[in-house]
């Protein structure tokens, strides 16, 4: 059974791109292995909600060492990736303006394995 999301996203089109890779690069200064964000697919400043995703690849720097033979997207990198989403949300150079704070409260790591190659981040 797939993991349950903490929020109801059934009415959200997760394939509708609001910010693509180039637009993200205008907002976030990170490059190379630390870019960690491929797209923003939803934003509702009124509700304080934003969703982005990272395409998780089999050639990422952490794959050989994070559980060899069954690599898992490390939780610390998930949190780092959420930071990239936050950078879009509250960044001075971005179109979406909202709260400028990111934090973790009741953080849940719901990654399975590299069979799913996209990590959706709320």
Q: Residues with catalytic annotation?
A: 66
CA-to-CA distance for 51 and 60, rounded, in angstroms?
22
Give the residue from 92, 87, 90, 61 showing the smallest Cα distance to 74.
61
Query: What one-character-per-residue DSSP string does 21-37 give?
Result: HHHHHHH----GGG---
């Amino acid at each position: 059974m797939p993991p349950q999301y903490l929020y109801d996203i059934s009415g959200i089109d997760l394939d509708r791109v609001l910010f693509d890779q180039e637009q993200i690069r205008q907002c976030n200064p990170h490059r190379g292995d630390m870019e960690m964000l491929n797209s923003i697919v939803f934003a509702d400043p009124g509700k304080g909600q934003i969703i982005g995703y990272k395409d998780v690849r089999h050639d990422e720097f952490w794959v050989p060492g994070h559980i060899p033979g069954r690599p898992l997207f490390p939780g610390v990198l998930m949190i780092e990736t959420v930071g990239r989403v936050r950078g879009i949300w509250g960044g001075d150079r971005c179109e979406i303006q909202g709260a400028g704070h990111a934090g973790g409260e009741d953080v849940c790591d719901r990654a399975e394995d590299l069979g799913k190659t996209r990590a959706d981040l709320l």
